[in-house]
Amino acid sequence: MKTSYEAAAQAVGGLFLPAGEAWRAAWHIDSHAALYGADGVHPTASGSYPAALVITAQLTARSIETVPATIPESEAAVLNRAAAQTAERFK
């Protein structure tokens, strides 16, 4: 999927925002991270957080370390780390 999205962005001169890669990084750090909601399709607040961080990093080129979270601090730390790794990988 990532390859298709990257290719589509490139084809139209767009910007690839690797939110899904942040999820993969989060699961690599914590395989129990609850990123999907109860329906198994939509994200939880925790799932939306790393996506928002990666998008923010890509669009603003600013540090995402100080972006506030409305999720538990322990979850935010893991997800922030995953998003930071992803943003760095896809600069």
Could you tell me what percent of the chain has a pLDDT over 70? 100
Domain locations in the chain as residue ranges? 18-89
What is the pLDDT at residue 91?
Answer: 83
What is the pLDDT at residue 38?
Answer: 96
Give the pair of three-digit tokens for residue 86: 């992803």
What is the pLDDT at residue 61?
Answer: 87
CB 85 within 8 A of CB 54: no
Give the pair of three-digit tokens for residue 91: 């600069």
What is the pLDDT at residue 65?
Answer: 84
What is the pLDDT at residue 2?
Answer: 87
Residue 11 has pLDDT above 90, yes or no: yes
